[in-house]
A and B are shown apart, each in its own frame.
Chain A
Amino acid sequence: MTDATARVRILQLYPDELGVTGDAGNVAVLRTRLKVSGVPVAVEVHRPGETLVAEPDLVVVGNGPLSALRRVHDDALACRDLIAEWARHVPFFAVGAGLELLCSRIEDPSGVLEGLRILPDVVAHRGRPRRVGYVIGETPQGQQVVGFEDQATELTGVETPFTTIVRDVTGPVSRPDGAQTPTITVTLLQGPLLPLNPWLADRLAASAAAHAGVSYLPHASLARYDSLAARATERMRAHVSSVFTTIR
């Protein structure tokens, strides 16, 4: 269903299956920020078996277990050509299993799943050592990312990571997270990420607005969310090494 008054259309793929880590929160934050800033926005969802129609201004895919990925797999492959066409110029934001779905393939100890090849050179390797806890990352542009990770996936074939994790539960580290292309932002970090990192929400909102042919200027009143986010991530940074020391 398309809302005729909306200027920006956000499409969330498979919200029931890939939406286990507060992924609805990422979408809600984008909607709020656009709306408060005077950009009419509509959120649409795509469920297995439904038909994809009009090109959206932003595609969001969330996280879920491998069983959920298998569940949506046939439908995703059936939509592959259209999604790949969109990905040339529509901004994408994907987290966890949503990221894996966009890779060329997903290797798991139980077998190999074909991916959508939106990131044609990237392979997701599941079943690697598990990482759980708060993390701090730095993007190539120098922005700081604070989130929570709970994943056992490694990516190969990434040209530009979304961010470099500089601190996790084990202390100072240097390891890549996710991938970044001119249109695609994918990460293994949750939290969810967008409320905690408003600069990233604004970057995605601006890309979506630009795709829709409108401009996005974050309204001053959003500062009340952002000061809460600053306090929240300040605490997370302080607790990064203490919340988890080991995981069974």
Chain B
Amino acid sequence: MRRFSAILLGRLARFLTRLRGGGSAFPGYLVRKAWPRFIEDVSAQWGHGVVFVLGSNGKSTTTHMISELLRAHGLRVFTNPTGANLPQGIASAMLAEVSLAGRLPADVAVLEVDEAFAVDLARLLSPRTVLMLNCQVDQLYRFYETERVADMMLDAALMAGEHIVTNREDPLLSKAGDRLGSRSVPDVTFFGVSEAVLAASRHGLLNAPDFRAGSRPERTAALAEVRSFGGREATLAVAGEELHVVLPARGLHYALDAAAASATARLVLGDAFDETAVVNAFANMRPAYGRGEIVPFGDESVEFIMFKNGPSLQLNLDSLAAPPRQVMFALDEGTPDISWIYDVAFDALDHVDVVTGEKAWQVALRLAYAGVPVGAVEPDLEKAIELMRKLPAPEDDRKLWFVNYEQMMLARKHLGFPDLETRL
């Protein structure tokens, strides 16, 4: 009865906060007040357990990929929207799907988790598998040192019930096994990129170096490896089988996310892993919110390319086969420190049409020193969008908008797509 009223209360709060517009962690807070073990009790129902997705970049994309791969094998998947990766947010997301009797009909949960809360959430959700994507220089204003972020992820990974899946090419995260000591559980599985593909990339994978340890571990075999790559197509070798997949968005980082997702799905599914189902699932996947997502813009369309730090911006620039015809660059104070913008090489662009957002002049200054011509600097996003609208439609191309998260939300609102990030 107490659980029933807890869920009812939380659902009511959820209804009211959504009426007000926007998502909220408040319903999650409320339900956990009334039913303190809400997260633990409900998550215990999932037969294939919980998968955590951790990393500096690519969490949303990879969470979405794993969910789709598992669904393609007939599993019912519970997953969380990007904004909801803290305990209350995850509880709120669970509230949306739980019955009044406290049942959440799913076989497995695939959850992207904020690094800083990964250990706390691991205590609540006892993940069976923890996937670590990468550790890149990210949000130094928040985390101060990259090694701390790696430690947060590694500490959570050690709490996995069965499997750690980690990036062989990441100097910090590839050493997960060293921390296990004599423990044989969880086991450690790698995903990665072939040396040839890595050598052909413009700036590599941009993972943070490990200044603490001396030598790099030997290159071990990966359960899933990117063997070839170009644009949106990639060949993945998964458990010895070569799969030709079409990625939901361009770029080596997406190919590597696909390898990570395939390795994780292989571990969750075991021998039930079916290569044809995987290839089909990738072919039908939509890009995650704002990550190569295409949104109508009058008679034209806009491709949103979201970045939050130097590595994600660089990897997206590196994914361009030719300089795009029309580019807007939008960055505001939602990204407080942009010192790293001087570490990004902009040679993939031959111009930027409009620079916008509160930090527009800082970006324009960087682009000037990088030698990239800028058409207009207009800090007001709405006015900038109108400038982009006035440009003639590019013939064999679409308008590319590089945006930070906050500017993407505002831009969507202005284009008439004010939807919040939801599960796909």
Contact = CB atoms under 8 A, between A and B. Distances in A.
Interface of A: 16-17, 19-26, 28-29, 32, 65-68, 70-71, 130, 132-133, 148, 150, 152, 190-192, 195-196, 224-225, 228-229, 231-232, 234-236, 239, 242-244, 247-248
Nearest to A234: B361
Contacts of A25: 339, 341-343, 366, 369
13 contacts: A16-B209, A26-B342, A28-B342, A29-B369, A32-B369, A65-B145, A65-B211, A150-B141, A150-B144, A152-B144, A224-B368, A232-B359, A244-B336
Interface string B335-374: 0111111110000000000000011011011101100000
A133 B336 contact: yes
B211 A67 contact: yes
Leading 9 A-B pairs by shortest Cβ distance? A25-B342, A22-B342, A22-B339, A232-B361, A231-B361, A67-B211, A21-B339, A65-B145, A228-B365
A248 B162 CA distance: 33
B339 A148 contact: yes
Nearest to B341: A22
Nearest to B371: A32
Nearest to B363: A232
B339 A192 contact: yes
Contacts of A16: 209
B145 A22 contact: no
Contacts of A236: 362
| Chain B, interface SS category | helix
A243 B336 contact: yes
A42 to B, nearest CB: 18
B68 interface: no
A150 B144 CA distance: 8
A239 B358 contact: yes
B183 interface: no
Interface residues of B, number: 31
Contacts of B361: 228, 231-232, 234-235
B146 interface: yes
A24 B364 contact: no
Contacts, number: 104
B231 to A, nearest CB: 29
Given A65-B211, A239-B358, A195 B369 contact: yes
B341 A65 contact: no
Contact of A225 (B140, B211, B368): B368
B300 interface: no
A89 to B, nearest CB: 29
Nearest to A19: B343
A195 to B, nearest CB: 6
Nearest to B374: A228
A54 B364 CA distance: 36
A67 B343 contact: no
Contact of B365 (A17, A66, A232): A232
Contacts of A232: 359, 361-362, 364-365
Nearest to B140: A150
Contacts of A29: 369
Contacts of B336: 132-133, 148, 243-244
A228 B339 contact: no
A22 B343 contact: yes
B97 interface: no
A23 B342 CA distance: 7
A228 B368 contact: yes
Given A21-B340, A24-B343, A191-B339, A67 B145 contact: yes
Interface in B143-195: 144-147
A32 B367 CA distance: 13
B204 interface: no
A190 B211 contact: no
A22 B379 CA distance: 23
B342 A239 contact: no
A133 B361 CA distance: 17
Contacts of B212: 67, 70
B309 to A, nearest CB: 11
A196 to B, nearest CB: 7
B139 to A, nearest CB: 10
A67 B209 CA distance: 10
A21 B145 CA distance: 12
Best-buried of B137, B337, B339 by chain A (most CB within 10 Å): B339
A174 to B, nearest CB: 23
Nearest to A66: B145
A150 B143 CA distance: 10
Contacts of B368: 224-225, 228
